[in-house]
Structure 1
Amino acid sequence: MTATDGGSATGGSATGGPGGPGGDTVAAVVRQWRAVHPDLDTGPMEIIGRINRCAALLQQAEDAPLRRAGLSRAEFDLLGALRRTGHELTPGELARETFSSGAAVTKRLKQLTERALVERRGDTRDRRVAHVRLTDAGRDLVDG
């Protein structure tokens, strides 16, 4: 097994696993592999495993303020796209800005509209087109 074969090279989770909370999960997994397969080159999994663990820990730290604000990362991405562009966007433009599907954007916009974080308005020339903008509450949330 290598760290790049599509499976988890390290096992465990970002907050625990074989190394326990705060322990070196990767070292514990490498010891397990060496016990059952002593000739296995664990070098790649030691490097990639630690990079993945760092990424997971950073992701948790980055997501914490979003959770406190009651937002998912995907919802924040939509709000952030509206804030950084500084103008209204259509759902299609939001999908492109956030690398999301149209259906996912529609679902998230419905939730954000219900929470009064975004507003939709119809296009005066084409009723099929909607324009989305941040509300004051949405802007304040993103800026916070």
Structure 2
Amino acid sequence: MPPSPRPTPSPDRLDLIGDAWRRERPDVDVRPQQVIGRLHRVAHHLTDELVAVYAQHGLTEGEFDVLATLRRVGPPYERSPGDLAAHTLVTSGGMTKRVDRLERAGLVARRVSDTDARARLVALTDRGREVIDAAFTDHMANERRLLGALTPADADELERILRTWLATLEHPPATA
């Protein structure tokens, strides 16, 4: 038995905006606005949903990112501040502020590198590992819930489309 067709969603704000632009500027293709606008709105909603879970663990989005980066490197769960900045796409100044907050909360500790006395490392504390493990478990459950709005096939197709699009945006083809 074939799957039942999905109901067509009712018109949204972007449909209304698109209709108005097509009426006022029929010479301009507004389809990109329909796609980009919806993607932008979805991203906003997703961010709100993700940040709410981080907050349940007393973390900001940036703090979750730092702790998750430290956790996924494996024991001894440490990196230099420069490595953390590179793996989280945060400036070194922004990283310092995040690490300061996490250190005050007892979730990370700074120590001198064993191989270079001038270098410092940021390491997860036992408490930091407990917090990120709990937050990550809840984060994955939340993302699974959010993705549940799509069929598995649609989620796979969306992942493929977004991977292709992101690769093109991050590594544009060379122009002649």
Query: Structure 1-normalised TM-score?
Result: 0.73
The reply to whether residue 33 of structure 1 matches residue 21 of structure 2 is yes
Q: Where in structure 2 are the equivalents of 1:14-53 lying within 5 Å?
A: 24-53=12-41
Quick one: which amino acid aligns to residue 129 of structure 1? A
Quick one: which amino acid aligns to residue 139 of structure 1? R
Once residues 28 and 124 of structure 2 are traced to their aligned partners in structure 1, the CA distance between those partners, rounded to angstroms, is 54
1:59-106: CA deviation from partner (whole Å, max 9, x where unpaired): 222222012223222211110011000222111121122122211111
Larger relative contact order (CA 8 Å, sep ≥ 6):
2
Q: Where in structure 2 are the equivalents of 1:1-144 lying within 5 Å?
A: 24-86=12-74, 87-124=77-114, 126-144=116-134
1:102-139: CA deviation from partner (whole Å, max 9, x where unpaired): 11111110111011110111235543211211112211
Identity of aligned residues (%): 39
- Structure 1: gaps spanning 5 or more residues: 1-22
**Greater Cα offset, 125-134 or 90-99:** 125-134
* Structure in which a larger fraction of residues adopt helix: 2
Once residues 113 and 103 of structure 1 are traced to their aligned partners in structure 2, the CA distance between those partners, rounded to angstroms, is 15
Query: What is the root-mean-square deviation of aligned Cα atoms in Å?
Result: 2.0
**Pair 92,36 (structure 1): closer, same or farther in 2 beyond 3 Å:** same
1:34-79: CA deviation from partner (whole Å, max 9, x where unpaired): 3432333211211222222222222222222012223222211110
